[in-house]
Amino acid sequence: MVLANAAARRETMSLSAEQRIALFRTMYAARRIDDREIAGKRQNRVFFQINGAGHEAVQAAAALCLRPGQDWFFLYYRDRALAYGLGVSARDMFLGSVGSRLDPATGGRQMPSHWSDHRLNIFTTSSPTGSQCLQAVGAAEAGLRAGPCGLQERLGVRPDEVVLASLGDGTAAEGEFWESLNSAVNLRLPVVFLVQDNGYAISVPTEVQYPGGDVAALLGGWKEHGLLVLDNVDGLDPIASYDALALATAHARARRGPALVRARVSRPYSHSLSDDEQAYKTAAEREQEARTDPLATYPARLLELGDLTPASLDRLKAEIQEEVDLAWEEALAGPPAEPGSGARHLYSETVDPTSAAFDTEAGQPGNPDGHGKTMVDLINATLRQEMAADPAILLFGQDVADASRQAALAEVKGKGGVFKATHGLQRQFGSHRVFNAPLAEATILGRAIGLAARGFKPVVEIQFFDYIWPAMLQIRDELACIRWRSDGHFKAPVVVRVPIGGYLTGGAICHSQSGECTFTHIPGLRVVCPSRAVDAAGLLRTAIRCDDPVLFLEPKHLYRQAHNKGEEPGPDFMIPFGKARTVREGRDLSVITYGCTVHRALQAARQAEAEGLEVEILDLRSLNPYDWDAVARSVRRTHRVLVAHEDSLSWGYGAELAARIADELFFHLDAPVRRLAAKDTWVAYHPDLEQEILPQVGDFLQAYRALALI
């Protein structure tokens, strides 16, 4: 026994007795919080429960290795012991369990175990598995770019900070995990990936997720590029876990590259209270998990080491239980989520891009047809002006740089985007601010969110709207709701520039589609779509200077048209969101439109004038929010309305406008609300077929005549 104890002490010399006891305290508290929450769910005082049982040992070790409030943390829903070890109290956890308005993580807006604490640098957690990994990479990338930008002090970036991305074994099958690993290794970022492998993603075992059931074993080729891989760590042993995580953290903190730790843990409880593990786990598996449960094995080890006596262990457990019980009672007394608060923090409440502060349009010179600069020219000029004014603006995406190999810039003219919207910006502002991203749309958005969370202002480009869909989860489930779900504690004011639409003669299925209504349906996301150069400049500047995420749609057919050119409006020119433009006044009918169809509506209106029809045209410019007051004024004046857009007709953006006009302005209408849009099919390759599918001048003229006859 003496020899055994001596050997055990040699194995634990990395930690003091106080630290070993602290590990147990974190582990036991997390389990008791889980058990209390489970009881609360059965009492109908908690509305959802997911546990971290079996994961406590490695999580407690991670908390001991890292520095809350200095390092950054991107967690997932099983990380109760990790969150507790970093400083999230039992009371705060229970306030989330009962959905109280006092819940400091979400204000009762998210499920329990969606950790968030701006004081500790625990970034707001969401339910999708793997989305946090790309954001963690972006947060680490902030440290890489802050120095060359001279922004370390302004952004609070520390020279030795580390970012932890925590995930489960099932998440390691997600594409976004692999994308994040790719960028972290490529940029040699100080990210520690902690894969907690309990053998199951709900009911699906790891061997179904990837070959061999061991994700770390697949990473051999990454090691030579700076990735430290620590595999088969005993995640049920907090001391072994600490040793591995200390090594991984030191590797990242020394800026030798990212690290990945795969810790083998267990899951002695079901996935959640909505799951029954007995439906897919054998009795032998469950018995093995009970035998190896760290809450049973580790206390025995502390007794063996002499760190605790049976009596002191009992006192410690009783102390923790008292803390948990008191926290539960305090949470039950907390007020529920506040009625009427559902829209709070949906957008910034301090910076309002619809306000007069963003309206400098008055007094601007006109832009006669054929004069001035093209839309793409003014987009480039606006980006150039804003980047010169604010060093926190970063520009990246696919092909946006002039040349990734900087040495080539002395010999080549530079790419600067497939449409040249960003041409020359890398040369002027440097490769640390204007750079290419991998061909991975989710990577672009995920990294942008992490950078924005640290205080940068990313202006990213998705090369074609048709390819935005791999980034959809990052846009809808992450970007648009970060401020709301964190109860205002975090934000990600990213500008996403996207060339959109057809009328290209040859763009076909994957270079000509629209679909803006998918994004106007997302709460928390601003969506704009200019039709002329000067509007693009004013709206883009507003998008950059506002504090909300913005989807900036650029109709690529309009990039170099002569009819929508405009004079350079100056470095302070802004157009507020939600302000429409009256393109043409009329008395017989109103056309509500935006983007490429504005000019077609105008051409048709000029022809209709020869027939005695005076058509009023309203360019919305901003789709969410939109200028309802301008719409209502126009309809009250003309009493007939046509809603038109380039996207397909059915379930399109115009359907909402038409429904609202019919609902709220019914008694001002002399005819039914009509719509004009593309046919309900894909945009075709052959120019003749494309012309037939998309709304043309003749279609507008025919619609005017038909509406006037009613």
Residue among 187, 178, 174 at smallest CA distance from 140: 187
| Cα gap 647→660, rounded to integer Å | 19
622-624 and 526-528: which strand pairing? Answer: antiparallel
| Cα gap 332→334, rounded to integer Å | 5
| Cα gap 492→454, rounded to integer Å | 9
589-593 and 434-436: which strand pairing? Answer: unpaired
For 583, half-sphere exposure in the C-beta direction (CA atoms, 13 angstrom radius) is 30
Dihedral, 404, 407, 410, 412 alpha carbons, nearest 10? -40
Angle value at C-alpha 341, between 339 and 343, nearest 5 degrees: 140
Q: Are 358 and 577 in contact (CB under 8 A)?
A: yes
| Cα gap 73→166, rounded to integer Å | 8
Residue among 475, 481, 492, 496 at smallest CA distance from 547: 492
Dihedral, 259, 264, 268, 269 alpha carbons, nearest 10? 30
Out of 251, 489, 511, 557, pick the active-site residue. Answer: 511
Residue among 504, 521, 522 at smallest CA distance from 513: 504
The one-letter amino acid at 457: K
Report the number of secondary-structure helices (H) and strands (E) in the chain: 25, 19
Dihedral, 447, 450, 452, 458 alpha carbons, nearest 10? -10
| Cα gap 579→629, rounded to integer Å | 9
| Cα gap 630→648, rounded to integer Å | 24
Is 46 strand, coil or helix?
Answer: coil
What the block records as the tokens of 483 is 């401020």
| Cα gap 241→552, rounded to integer Å | 46
Residue among 654, 590, 647, 649 at smallest CA distance from 617: 590
| Cα gap 423→439, rounded to integer Å | 19
Q: Are 448 and 137 in contact (CB under 8 A)?
A: no
**229 φ/ψ angles, rounded to the nearest 5 degrees:** -115, 120
| 345 annotated active-site | no
Residue among 93, 91, 261, 89 at smallest CA distance from 165: 261
Q: Are 422 and 383 in contact (CB under 8 A)?
A: yes
Q: How far is CA 97 from the centre of its chain?
A: 24
Going from the C-alpha of 480 to that of each of 155, 487, 496, 522, 653, the distances in angstroms are 22, 13, 12, 7, 19
What the block records as the tokens of 661 is 């006009």
| Cα gap 415→430, rounded to integer Å | 14
Which residue in the block uniquely carries the two structure tokens 């956890």?
Answer: 93
| Cα gap 98→334, rounded to integer Å | 9
Which residue in the block uniquely carries the two structure tokens 């175990």?
Answer: 113
Considering Cα of 276, then 282, then 287, then 293, what sign does the dihedral take?
negative
Is 436 strand, coil or helix?
Answer: strand
| Cα gap 103→94, rounded to integer Å | 8
What the block records as the tokens of 473 is 């989860």
Residue among 287, 234, 293, 267 at smallest CA distance from 28: 293
Residues acting as catalytic residues: 511
